[in-house]
Chains A and B, each alone.
Chain A
């Protein structure tokens, strides 16, 4: 884990010069938000065990998603729909189908099969996929610092995952 985290720190710190103004706000928000995800990973396992991966993720996503839809309606968030072009509709479709339903069903299924920490360790793949996609589609920079950081986190995943089975919770 320390190798993986060191890779993250290295990539972030060495890439500060190329970051947009105020990027540190986004970085802090992301770091703070992951604490909620960490608690979700751990607390959800007994609920999954008493139901099923599909049942639990559907029920919990319906609760959170339902609240979000109500909040968006109340704030007039859906008033922007007339401004959506094809890129926005395609992005929204991806978010609902693959970024929402598929990604989190698979995440919950993984929590059923292995430990929360091992599942969480694969989050290191997230920036690789995101950076590659952003470089291809958005033209965002993909520097050597990001690559070095990602190699470090993959090494961390491998080390954390190749342990004796008795260490699993």
Chain B
């Protein structure tokens, strides 16, 4: 049940993310990749912070703060600057298709870090 729910939720997330590429194309002629990413994740964080506080969610413990911050910088900053830069050179369809190499890379990274076994599927 959790597996199906997880996949369904991830599909919804990926759909919203795919449409973000369309939105990015409206701005990429006017703003630079860093500024576009700042709108997306600076704006996103501003929206999530009050929701998270009101929801009383469990925050990362102090010992996880450095790792959480580094992961945030690596993903939300570095990756999306590259993503927005790419959309200045290529079409939305091609850019997001290239992004589809993610499953293979994740599988290989997970196997390398022994987080998931490699299977025939």
Partner-B contacts on A (CB < 8 A): 1, 4-5, 7-8, 11-12, 15, 19-20, 22-27, 29-45, 47, 50-52, 54-69, 71-72, 75, 77-78, 80, 83-84, 87-88, 90-107, 109-131, 133-134, 137-138, 140-142, 146, 149, 153, 156-157, 159-161, 163, 165, 167-169
Query: Which residue of B has the minimal Cβ distance to A113?
Result: B6
Contact between B100 and A110, CB atoms less than 8 A apart: no
Contact between A55 and B58, CB atoms less than 8 A apart: yes
Partner-A contacts on B (CB < 8 A): 2-3, 5-7, 9-27, 30-32, 34-49, 51-52, 55, 57-61, 64-65, 67-83, 85-110, 113, 115-117, 119, 121
Query: Which residue of B has the minimal Cβ distance to A133?
Result: B22
B1 → A minimal CB distance (Å): 9
The secondary structure that dominates the B interface is helix
Complex A-B, nearest 7 residue pairs according to Cβ-Cβ distance, in ascending order? A96-B43, A100-B44, A64-B76, A26-B90, A99-B20, A113-B6, A129-B18
A23 → B minimal CB distance (Å): 4
A residues less than 8 Å from B48 (CB atoms):
54, 57-58, 61-62, 101, 105
Contact between A38 and B102, CB atoms less than 8 A apart: yes
Contact between B64 and A36, CB atoms less than 8 A apart: no
Query: Which residue of B has the minimal Cβ distance to A125?
Result: B14
Q: Bound complex: CA of A86 vs CA of B105, how far in Å? A: 38
The secondary structure that dominates the A interface is helix
User: Given known contacts A32-B82, A60-B75, A113-B6, is B40 in contact with A120 (CB within 8 Å)?
Assistant: no
A residues less than 8 Å from B34 (CB atoms):
68, 71-72, 75, 77
Contact between A94 and B119, CB atoms less than 8 A apart: no
User: Given known contacts A42-B110, A60-B69, A67-B77, is B82 in contact with A80 (CB within 8 Å)?
Assistant: no
Query: Which residue of A has the minimal Cβ distance to B90?
Result: A26
Q: Bound complex: CA of A96 vs CA of B66, how far in Å? A: 24
B residues less than 8 Å from A125 (CB atoms):
11, 14-15, 18
A155 → B minimal CB distance (Å): 12
Q: Bound complex: CA of A44 vs CA of B80, how far in Å? A: 17
Q: Bound complex: CA of A121 vs CA of B99, how far in Å? A: 11
A residues less than 8 Å from B82 (CB atoms):
29-30, 32-33, 36
Kindly list 17 other residue pairs between chains A and B, CB separation below 8 angstroms, not including A37-B106, A91-B26, A130-B92.
Answer: A7-B100, A23-B94, A25-B90, A30-B83, A33-B82, A58-B45, A96-B40, A103-B20, A106-B10, A113-B6, A114-B10, A124-B100, A125-B14, A129-B15, A131-B92, A131-B93, A161-B3
Contact between A8 and B19, CB atoms less than 8 A apart: no
